Amino acid sequence: MTVKINASKAAYEARLGKPFIDFDHVQQEFNGNLVIPDLNLTVNAGELFVLVGTSGSGKTTTLKMVNQLQPQTAGTISIMGQDIRQTNLQELRWNIGYVLQQIALFPTMTVAQNIAVIPEMKGVKREEIDATVDRLLKRVGLDPAKYRDRMPSELSGGEQQRIGICRAIAPEPPVVLMDEPFSALDPISRTQLQDLVLDIHASRHDTIIFVTHDMDEALKLGDRIAVMSEGKILQVDTPNNVSQHPANGFVKQFFAQSIAHNVENVYVGKMVMQGFAYPTLPQPGARVLDISSDKVLGDVFDAMKDVDYLRVVSGNKELGFIDATMVVHYLSQHLHEDDA
The span from the CA of 200 to the CA of 279, in Å, is 33
Q: Flag whether 12 is in a domain.
A: no
Q: Flag whether 340 is in a domain.
A: no
Q: What is the pLDDT of residue 338?
A: 42
Q: Flag whether 282 is in a domain.
A: yes
Q: Same structural domain for residues 85 and 222?
A: yes
What letter represents residue 97's amino acid? G
DSSP letter for 224, please. E
Given 200, 230, 262, the domain boundary residue is 262
Q: What is the pTM of this model?
A: 0.78
Q: What is the pLDDT of residue 1?
A: 28
Q: Flag whether 1 is in a domain.
A: no
pLDDT, averaged per 10 consecutive residues of the chain (340 residues), comes to: 56 86 97 94 97 92 96 96 92 92 88 96 95 96 96 94 95 94 84 90 94 88 95 93 86 73 71 88 92 84 85 90 83 52
Q: What is the pLDDT of residue 332?
A: 65
Q: Same structural domain for residues 233 and 113?
A: yes
DSSP letter for 305, please. G
DSSP letter for 310, please. E
Q: Same structural domain for residues 244 and 273?
A: no
DSSP string of 47-97, one letter each residue = -EEEEEESTTSSHHHHHHHHTTSS--SEEEEEETTEEGGGS-HHHHHHTEE
CA 318 vs. chain centroid, Å, equals: 37
Nearest to 113 by CA among 126, 103, 101: 126
Strands 19-30 vs 33-44: parallel, antiparallel or unpaired: antiparallel
Q: What is the pLDDT of residue 340?
A: 36
Q: Same structural domain for residues 64 and 193?
A: yes
Q: What is the pLDDT of residue 264?
A: 63
Q: Same structural domain for residues 234 and 277?
A: no
Q: What angle do CA 287, 289, 294 make, to 5 degrees?
A: 150
Note whether 102 and 148 are within 8 A (CB): no
Q: Flag whether 101 is in a domain.
A: yes
Sheet holding 309-314, edge to edge: 288-292, 309-314, 317-322
Q: Same structural domain for residues 275 and 234?
A: no
- The string of pLDDT tens digits covering residues 239-286 is 888 887 889 988 888 877 666 555 666 788 888 888 889 999 998 889
The span from the CA of 1 to the CA of 84, in Å, is 11
Q: Same structural domain for residues 277 and 249?
A: no
CA 132 vs. chain centroid, Å, equals: 24
Q: Same structural domain for residues 248 and 315?
A: no
Q: Which residues contact 202 (CB under 8 A, 6 or more apart)?
A: none
Q: Same structural domain for residues 279 and 249?
A: no
DSSP letter for 100, please. E
Q: Which domain holds residue 272?
A: 267-335
Q: What angle do CA 24, 25, 30 make, to 5 degrees?
A: 120
Q: What is the pLDDT of residue 190?
A: 85
Q: Same structural domain for residues 254 and 289?
A: no
The span from the CA of 13 to the CA of 310, in Å, is 41
Q: Which residues contact 172 (CB under 8 A, 6 or more apart)?
A: none
Q: Flag whether 9 is in a domain.
A: no
Q: Flag whether 65 is in a domain.
A: yes
Q: Same structural domain for residues 145 and 235?
A: yes
The span from the CA of 66 to the CA of 57, in Å, is 17
Nearest to 330 by CA among 282, 256, 277, 291: 277
Q: Same structural domain for residues 285 and 197?
A: no
Q: What is the pLDDT of residue 191?
A: 83
Number of domains the chain contains: 2
Given 237, 262, 287, the domain boundary residue is 262
* Residue 193, H or E segment: helix 187-204
The span from the CA of 300 to the CA of 295, in Å, is 8
Report the 3 state secondary structure along 6-54.
CCCHHHHHHCECCEEEEEEEEEEEECCEEEEEEEEEEEEECCEEEEEEC
CATH code of the domain containing 281: 3.90.1280
Q: Flag whether 4 is in a domain.
A: no
Given 218, 235, 262, the domain boundary residue is 262
CATH code of the domain containing 221: 3.40.50.300
